[in-house]
C-alpha cells in the first residue's frame, strides 16, 4: 500500500507501508461481493444471491499462491479473484 505518511509537523513524506490480514482483505472482498450482486441482477434471468452462494463463489474463484485448493493457515481459502468470481455466475 503506497501512500504518504504525515509527520507531526504536517509535512507529507513519501512512504511505503506493507499490511496484511483480514482487515486489509475485507474491503476487497466486500467490493467483489458488491460486483457479484450487481452482475447477478444483469443475468438473462436476474436472481438474488444468498450468503451461502456468495461464500461458495468466493471460495471456488480464489487462487492459492501455493497451488493447493484447500484451506490453509497462511492464505485461508486463497486470494480473491474478482474476474473468476464473476465468471462463475454464468
Could you tell me the pLDDT band of residue 24, with boundaries at 50, 70 and 90?
confident
Per-residue pLDDT, 40: 96
Q: What is the pTM of this model?
A: 0.71
Confidence of residue 1 (pLDDT cuts 50, 70, 90): very low
Scan for cell 501512500, then name that residue.
3
Write the CB contacts of 40 (distance below 8 Å, at least 6 apart in sequence).
Answer: 46, 47, 48, 49, 89
pLDDT tens digits for range 33-77: 999 999 999 999 999 999 999 999 999 999 877 776 677 777 777
Mean pLDDT of the chain: 81
Residue 6 has pLDDT above 60, yes or no: no
d(CA 17, CA 28): 17
Give the 3-state secondary structure of residue 54: helix
The mean pLDDT value for 71-85 works out to 84
Q: Which residue has the cell 436476474?
A: 46
Amino acid at each position: 500500500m503506497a501512500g504518504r505518511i504525515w509527520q507531526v509537523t504536517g509535512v507529507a513524506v513519501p512512504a511505503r507501508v506493507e499490511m496484511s490480514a483480514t482487515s486489509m482483505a475485507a474491503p476487497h472482498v466486500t467490493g467483489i461481493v458488491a460486483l457479484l450482486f450487481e452482475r447477478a441482477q444483469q443475468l438473462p434471468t436476474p436472481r438474488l444471491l444468498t450468503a451461502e452462494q456468495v461464500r461458495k463463489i468466493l471460495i471456488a474463484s480464489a487462487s492459492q499462491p501455493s497451488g493447493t485448493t484447500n484451506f490453509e493457515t497462511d492464505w485461508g481459502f486463497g486470494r480473491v479473484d474478482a474476474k473468476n468470481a464473476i465468471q462463475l455466475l454464468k
